[in-house]
Structure 1
């Protein structure tokens, strides 16, 4: 079932069930992914994309098991400080962080980018943050391919004709866990004791996933977005009150509580 149709509570239920999965099933799942990565990347230079989210943490585990440790994280100018602190304390040894500079100025020029209300607008964030960083890293390190944690159950495009890879703008992207389910992801994280980032304890955490705060999806309105961000980090909203009327209004709302 796609992320868009699941609530945070739905994910919590799946996570709880995953804790009881037999370890033999989980190890078989991991072994299969490691085998396919080793076969696909044999005698080639690959790295993986890392976001700190649950899927990329599972991807990190199987990639490192397959001998691939270099990876890239694309960030914007509008990340949650708590997330960046978590990244600093939990980043893979081979991680390179690329700030693409996408942020406040782009929103001021195109206000609908704030708390994007449709897939097209959300895609602009992915294009200008994650995809831009991946392409830059790909070129800088002269890679043959980059490994992603994209999955069909999330509604992601992973490849054509049943393949889990595709080439776009000269970048070969391979998704070895494309067929994994949410249940599979949670099973691996639980079995291997992998810590999740703070995102998942925040409002609608599992539904929204990792994201720059301004790219927060599925908000009922701009004010709804600001209110959720305020619950996560009031300092962000206070800082943005000089630029957005909605942020200023929410600051006033909470100051009177």
Structure 2
């Protein structure tokens, strides 16, 4: 591990960087997970929120994992689980995102510039994986060591047409990052009432079979992906059997590479 990164958890604690982590496993013990969250260097409270757990529902085991990367001080959770999932998973997940956005906008009056990206994963009976996302938090699945991106980075430059069709614009000013109306660096998000007419809140939804080649799944906020590509993250995580330690090592490596944003990482190891 030391060869992967000279920065470790004790050094982070010594530098007064806020760090939290944890781990768990499926009810049959065939899957394990670990997570690690590190507050960024910006002068505001931690804005990320995570979900990582296994639950029994209607004789099925569901792994429920999510990372919400808030901006302007907001963090969100998806609305209650949709019964429709058992019949039409893709549509149920999309509806959950849309309902969550509506709930946020209807119950919070101070959301003119606040919002959140999201990436969520549902593991169904250890055999099927459903991924959904808004914004630039990302999910990466490793099959036989090959990194497969399971989410879509919703960047203003790639969805410029949709933004402009709704009367908005994309500008690199201020700074050098494309932003919706010069403000938000993602083209899809929860909340953001002042930009809602120009933003989308419908997720991209992907599915995959968890076969004998699938070894790990990584969910992470852009605090990791700004400084590390998909294959690098997979290569680091696969070398560490304990997914809890793997998540902490990825966070430590992101800090070593001078990531300044909040860093939230979940690693799930199959079998």
Q: TM-score, normalised by structure 1?
A: 0.29
Higher share in helix: 1
What TM-score, normalized by structure 2, do the two folds share? 0.28
